[in-house]
C-alpha cells in the first residue's frame, strides 16, 4: 500500500487532534489578525451610533440557546455594550423560546457589571419569556405593558421609569434579533411589515446567506453574520474608542482562521490523494488488460 493510500485511510483521531491544536493555541496566544469591517456590519453599527440618550430604546432580542453561544454571545454583548456606552435606553428581551432566557440574563448581567453608573429600570430593563412566538411579536406592536405585565424580576412594567411613554413599536427605535434560528423572519413579517419598526439582525454564519435578500431590499437595517460579524463590530467599537471588553469574537476569529486553513489543507490533500490513487489504479488496470 502506497503513501497516498495510507494517507487516505488516516485515522480520524489525528484530524481531531489537529483541529484541537489549531483552535486552542490562538485562544492562549492570539495572533492579532487584522479585521476588516464589511458593509452590513457598518450599517448596523452606524445606525446605533447615531442614537443617543434622548432616542427611543433599542430592543435587543436574545434568540439563541447555549449551542450557538460562542458565536452569538459576543454579538449580543457588543450590541449591549455599544448601547450602554452611548447612553441609549436598552430593552433586553429574553427571547421567543424558553431556552433563550438564560443566555439573555447572562449577557445583560455581564455587560451591566462593566457599567456601574447605569441603573436598572432607568437605563436598561430586562423582559422575560412569554409563550406565543409570533403572537408575542404582534402583541408588542399593540402594547408592551399588556403583553409582558412584569419584567423578568416581577416588577410591573408600568413602574419602570425607562418604559414610561414606551407603549409599542412606535416608541422603539430599533429591534435587533440576535438569533441562531429563523426568528429574524418572524420579526420581519410581524414587526417590520405590520408596524414598520426597524430591524437589525445578528445571526450565525450558517443563517447569514438566507438574510442577504432582506438586507438588499432594505428591510433589515444591517447584519452581523457569524463570529466574523461580531469581530467586525468589536473592531468598529475599538476604532471609535468605545470600551470593548476582552473582545471575545476577535480572539475567536484567530482560532476560526486556523481551523478553516486546516480544513482547506485537508480537502486539498484529500483530493490530491484521491486523484493520485485513482490514476495509479487505472494504470494497474491498463497493465492487467494488456496482459
Partner 1 sequence: MRRRLPVIIAFGIGFLMLIQYFIPHPRSEEFYNVIVQQWFIIIFAFMYIFALRSFFMHHITKVKRKKEGYIFSAVAMVSVLFMLLSGLITSRGPFFDSLYNYMIAPLQGTMFSLLAFFIASAAFRAFRARNVQATLLLVTATIVMIGRVPIGDYLWRGMPDLVEWIMTVPSMAAMRGIRIGVGLGAVATAMKIMLGIERSYMGGE
Identify the residue among 16, 27, 171, 284 touching partner 1 (CB under 8 A): 16
Determine, following the binding rule CB under 8 A, whether residue 145 of this chain makes contact with partner 1: no
User: x/- binding map, residues 46-65, to partner 1, per CB under 8 A?
Assistant: -------------------x
Q: How far is the CB of 43 from partner 1 (least distance, A)?
A: 13
Determine, following the binding rule CB under 8 A, whether residue 34 of this chain makes contact with partner 1: yes
User: x/- binding map, residues 228-257, to partner 1, per CB under 8 A?
Assistant: x--x---------------------xx-xx
Binding region for partner 1 (CB under 8 A) out of 31-39, 52-60, 76-84, 161-169:
31-39
Determine, following the binding rule CB under 8 A, whether residue 30 of this chain makes contact with partner 1: no
Binders of partner 1 in range 150-209 (CB under 8 A): 205, 208-209
Determine, following the binding rule CB under 8 A, whether residue 271 of this chain makes contact with partner 1: yes
The three-state DSSP-derived secondary structure of the chain is CCHHHHHHCCCHHHHHHHHHHHHHHHHHCCCCCCCCCCHHHHHHHHHHHCCCCCCCCEEEEEECCHHHHHHHHHHHHHHHHHHHHHCCCEEEECCCCHHHHHHHHHHHHHHHHCCCCCCECCCEEEECCCCCCHHHHHHHHHCHHHHHCECCCCCEHHHCHHHCCCCCHHHCCEEEEEECCCHHHHHHHHHHHHHCCCEEEEECCCCHHHHHHHHHCCCEEEEEEHHHHHHHHHHHHHHHCCCCCCCHHHHHHHHHHHHHHHHHHHHHHHHHHHHHHHHHHHHHHHHHHHC
Residues that bind partner 1 (CB under 8 A): 10, 12, 15-16, 18-20, 23, 33-36, 38-39, 65-70, 98, 102-103, 105-106, 130-136, 138-139, 142-143, 146-147, 205, 208-210, 212-213, 216, 226, 228, 231, 253-254, 256-264, 266-267, 269-271, 274
Amino acid at each position: 500500500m502506497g503513501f497516498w493510500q495510507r494517507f487516505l485511510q488516516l485515522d480520524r483521531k489525528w484530524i481531531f487532534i489537529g483541529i484541537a491544536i489549531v483552535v486552542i493555541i490562538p485562544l492562549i496566544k492570539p495572533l492579532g489578525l487584522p479585521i476588516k469591517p464589511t458593509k452590513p456590519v457598518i450599517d448596523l453599527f452606524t445606525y446605533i451610533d447615531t442614537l443617543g440618550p434622548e432616542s427611543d430604546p433599542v430592543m435587543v432580542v436574545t434568540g439563541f440557546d447555549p449551542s450557538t453561544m460562542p458565536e452569538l454571545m459576543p454579538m449580543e454583548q457588543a450590541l449591549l455594550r455599544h448601547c450602554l456606552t452611548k447612553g441609549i435606553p436598552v430593552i433586553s428581551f429574553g427571547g421567543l423560546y424558553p431556552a433563550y432566557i438564560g443566555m439573555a440574563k447572562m449577557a445583560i448581567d455581564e455587560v451591566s457589571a462593566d457599567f456601574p453608573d447605569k441603573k436598572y429600570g432607568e437605563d436598561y430593563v430586562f423582559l422575560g419569556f412569554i409563550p406565543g412566538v409570533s403572537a408575542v411579536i404582534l402583541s408588542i406592536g399593540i402594547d408592551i405593558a399588556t403583553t409582558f405585565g412584569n419584567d423578568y424580576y416581577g416588577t410591573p412594567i408600568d413602574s419602570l421609569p425607562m418604559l414610561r411613554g414606551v407603549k409599542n413599536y412606535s416608541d422603539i427605535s430599533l429591534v435587533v434579533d440576535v438569533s441562531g434560528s429563523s426568528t429574524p423572519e418572524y420579526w420581519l413579517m410581524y414587526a417590520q411589515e405590520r408596524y414598520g419598526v426597524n430591524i437589525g439582525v445578528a445571526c450565525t454564519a450558517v443563517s447569514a446567506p438566507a438574510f442577504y435578500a432582506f438586507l438588499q431590499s432594505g428591510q433589515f437595517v444591517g447584519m452581523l453574520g457569524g463570529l466574523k460579524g461580531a469581530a467586525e463590530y468589536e473592531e468598529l467599537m475599538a476604532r471609535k474608542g468605545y470600551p470593548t471588553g476582552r473582545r471575545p469574537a476577535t480572539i475567536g476569529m484567530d482560532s476560526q482562521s486556523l481551523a478553516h486553513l486546516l480544513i482547506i489543507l485537508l480537502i486539498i490533500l484529500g483530493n490530491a490523494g484521491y486523484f493520485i490513487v485513482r490514476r495509479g489504479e487505472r494504470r494497474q488496470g491498463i497493465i492487467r488488460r494488456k496482459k
